[in-house]
Amino acid sequence: MADTSYVWFQLDVFAPRAGTGNPLGVVIADPAWSDHDMQALAAWTNLVETTFVLPATQPEADYRVRIFTPSREIPFAGHPSLGTAHAVRAAGLVAPERDRLIQECAAGLLPISIERGADGVVLFVRSPPATVVASRAEDSAAVCRVLHGLRLGALPPALVAGGRRWWLAEIASEAELRGLQADPPAIKALALASDSVGLCLFARAQDADYDLVVRAFPCAIGIDEDPASGAANGLIASYLHHAEPSGRLLANGGYRVSQGREIGRDARLELRIAPSGTVEVGGQVQTVVEGRLRWPLAPVT
């Protein structure tokens, strides 16, 4: 087996400081990496996602990324997209003064903007277009059975697709959502029956630092709870634009999210929604580990 070293980053995404967000591994790879090699490393790291930076195949793109969970490849996810853009900049693959990158992934070409402020750099990725797949009375009943009596909020549950498919449900209060004891087997059954990732719950908040509380349970891919989910939050924003475009959360063009506190994190996400419905998900990224990865690649047969 070939044994060559590669630039490796371990990052914390949607994290105001290291240790508060969602971990991510990033490999600055090359075409020698096969599907098998990528999946094997992602399984070994056992991170929520590991990404592989490759040369772009489309002239508009600055780089191509492939995203793997420990069990499979996925077309898009928010925190891997922001983290990979951060790693590409840190590795010197793009000029540091750039304020916009184009990411190529299985969900298409997605712009990533880089904004510099008093608190540091914030990256935003444009979410893929989203559609409401299902939002009927029987859908609400299916979600309610999983929630075991937890009170719903103003909007009905919905299955929303855009890069990934998630069940979304609004909960009546922040306190009820934070106190939820989830039922991962029931959520996994709901997700597998609808070819979705899992169930993402949200509640409106009255807090100076955030407007929405989110908890995401991607049980169909073997994760009981995600500390910070960019893709799911992007779908929530699209659903809010669809269901209540004149609502308070969208009045100022976006809102702030708190996620992960229930599992020992304190991630912060920023959502921006244009009048057209275009959604951008943003946050800060912290480098925790930077070094060389030595991983044996399987021989080409």
Give the pLDDT score at 3: 60
pLDDT of residue 1 exceeding 70: no
Q: Please check whether residues 118 and 135 belong to one and the same domain.
A: no
Q: Any residues with CB less than 8 A from the CB of 144 and at least 6 apart, and which?
A: 152, 157
Entry pTM: 0.94
pLDDT (mean) for 95-102: 95
Q: Residue 229: which CATH number?
A: 3.10.310.10
Confidence of residue 139 (pLDDT cuts 50, 70, 90): confident
Residues 173 and 241 reside in one and the same domain: yes
199/254 same-domain check: yes
The reported pLDDT for the residue numbered 135 is 85
Mean of per-residue pLDDT scores for the chain: 95
Query: Containing domain of residue 262, as a range?
Result: 131-277
Domain match, 106 and 139 both: no
My answer on whether 110 and 88 are in the same domain is yes
| Nearest by Cα to 217 from 193, 196, 242, 243 | 196
- 136 and 267 in a single domain? The answer is yes
What is the tens place of the pLDDT at every residue in 159-183? Answer: 999 988 999 999 999 999 999 999 9
- If one counts the domains in the chain, the total is 2
Q: Do both 176 and 265 map to the same domain? A: yes
Confidence class for position 2, pLDDT limits 50, 70, 90: low
Same domain, 119 and 191: no
pLDDT tens-place string over residues 6-63: 999 999 999 999 999 999 999 999 999 999 999 999 999 999 999 999 999 999 999 9
Residues 169 and 252 in one domain: yes
Claim to verify: residue 260 and residue 151 sit in the same structural domain? yes
pLDDT of residue 222: 87
Asked if residue 49 and residue 153 are part of one domain, the reply reads no
pLDDT of 5 reads: 94
Residue 4 has pLDDT above 70, yes or no: yes
272 and 207 in a single domain? The answer is: yes
Q: Does the pLDDT at position 294 exceed 90?
A: yes
